[in-house]
A and B are shown apart, each in its own frame.
Chain A
Amino acid sequence: MNQAHAILVDDWHAVAELDFLRSRGAFATALLDVGLEVSCGGPDDFRVLRRDTGAPLATRVEYGHLFTTLGEPARDLVHFPECHEEDRIRVTGGSIGVNVSGLRAVENFLDMGHFPFVHTGYLGIEPHTEVEPYEVAVTEQDEILATACRFFQPVASPSAEGGMMVDYVYKVCRPYTACLYKSNPVEPERWDVIVLFVQPVGEERCIAHSWLAYLPHDLDEEATRWYMQLIFAQDKPILENEFPKRLPLDRRAEVPVRADAASLAYRRWLGAHGVTYGAIPAA
């Protein structure tokens, strides 16, 4: 088993969607193979205990989720300014368990190539299968940024009618946190935003938590959440059939094409930061 590196231990991770936690009262989960008891004593009273030592852990509430840490966070939660814009529909997507490394889930989130085949009729459709060249860079904030991404989508958003070319920007902020910005058909100068907080339960099991900040045109919270779950549930069986279930970081392990530039950058970046948990490190 690969040890969780300090970059993961000393960071915040989402461990519960708040509505889910409020309705359950308490439940058991795990973070980086450490068993946790998450509980709710009142509408805004949330606790996380380690099951092995009984020690209470620090918590933070943001983006519709409860976050905790196993160590001493060196950094604050990632700040997503769009998620604080009050005219947006802001809603959690609903946490879904996936039996694969959380790194695979993040990598899939960055991939446009699978749209026509996995999200047929929604995020892509044959013969519009080409991923045009796009730019990938590591920013001064040490985030991976993929820009100038474009793809033809039949139903690009919960309110879309008719196919359109959609612009995307992807950002990987932390090993298990990524977000995407997607052009909005009504307000082209603003973006719809989807943040993915992946909870690494174990090396080959994760829970995908998401936070959606959509522009409100012809949308409500229910439709926004419905669309997210429809799309994510299409990815789930593909992810669970990945082999190996952990993400190989050796560049010779899988054969990439140009459309995989974001994925390659992610794997390199994980390797450079010494992340081995949920990965198969390069030899």
Chain B
Amino acid sequence: MITLYDYELSGNCYKVRLLLNILGLEWKTRRIDFHPGREHKSDWFLRLNPLGQVPVLEDDDLGLRDAQAILTYLAARYDRSGRWYPAGDARTLGEIAMWLAFAEGITATASAARLAENFLYDLDVDAARAGAHRLFRVLDEHLWFAEQEGRDWLCAPGHPTIADVACFPYVVLSEEGGVSRMPYPAIRRWTDRFKRIPGFTLMSGVFPAGAAV
């Protein structure tokens, strides 16, 4: 049985819940009192993940930290369609790795701004917001050119991959950190498409897609 060490309001945990749902997997949740309890910095949790971060996933005798690593594992092990992480497709795997690293950048900027605004973290929120806008411009341009070529998703195949799952949460939660998505129409179209993926699930702060037109 898969166990997810989870915090409801964490976008990185949401990534994992999204893929678990999309793949139709069953799992057990161990909730972590991140705010204000800081259970992710407690002694017992640091033994599980010395970095003191959620999520952590356990499956059989395997323990994994880092949302991107967990997405990679879940897709490689459980996705029978072979689409979410297409092993053997060198080009797509390269693109996926590139966007997983980009997702880390979104966490370091858009998510940091949200931590400051929501959870009262003491950090340079203006620098975090400026960094998020730099990344969102890159993302918006990439998605706009993809659309011109008839592609709806971050990587080359005509279907979403774990790269989309990794980038979606902190993009869609960005306004909680004061990062507006008004200037990024291609990002807004992509988040709407993402919300229509079968198995898509919500978290607090994320709303369902409007009716299709």
Contacts and interface: CB of A to CB of B under 8 A. Distances in A.
B8 A237 contact: no
Contact of B117 (A23, A24, A97): A97
Interface in A194-234: 207, 222-223, 225-226, 229-234
Interface string B107-124: 000000000011110100
Interface stretch (A6-14, A88-96, A179-187): A88-96
A19 B118 contact: no
Interface of A: 17, 19-20, 23-24, 27-29, 92, 94-97, 99, 207, 222-223, 225-226, 229-234, 236-237, 240
B8 A94 contact: no
B205 A20 contact: no
B150 interface: no
Given A97-B119, A207-B120, 13 more contacts: A17-B36, A19-B37, A20-B120, A95-B120, A97-B120, A222-B31, A229-B35, A230-B204, A233-B8, A236-B204, A237-B175, A237-B207, A240-B175
A283 to B, nearest CB: 31
Main secondary structure of the interface of A (DSSP, over half): helix
A207 B142 CA distance: 37
B9 A27 contact: no
Contacts of B36: 17, 19-20, 23, 92, 94-95
Contacts of B35: 20, 94, 229
15 contacts: A17-B36, A19-B37, A20-B36, A29-B120, A94-B35, A96-B118, A97-B120, A222-B31, A226-B31, A229-B8, A229-B9, A230-B204, A231-B204, A233-B8, A237-B175
B176 interface: yes
Contact of A99 (B33, B120, B178, B205): B178
Contacts of B204: 229-234, 236
A28 B122 contact: yes
Given A97-B120, A207-B120, A233 B37 contact: no
Contacts of B207: 237
Interface string B35-67: 111100100000000000000000000000000
Contacts of A223: 31
A240 B175 CA distance: 9
A212 to B, nearest CB: 13
Given A20-B36, A95-B36, A222-B31, A236 B205 contact: yes
Nearest to A226: B31
Nearest to A223: B31
A92 B36 CA distance: 9
What 4 pairs between A and B have smallest CB-CB spacing?
Answer: A233-B204, A20-B36, A234-B204, A94-B36
Contacts of A240: 175-176
Contacts of A99: 117, 178
Contact of B122 (A27, A97, A222): A27
Contacts of B178: 99
Contacts of B205: 233-234, 236-237
A29 B9 CA distance: 23
B38 A23 contact: yes
Contacts of A234: 204-205
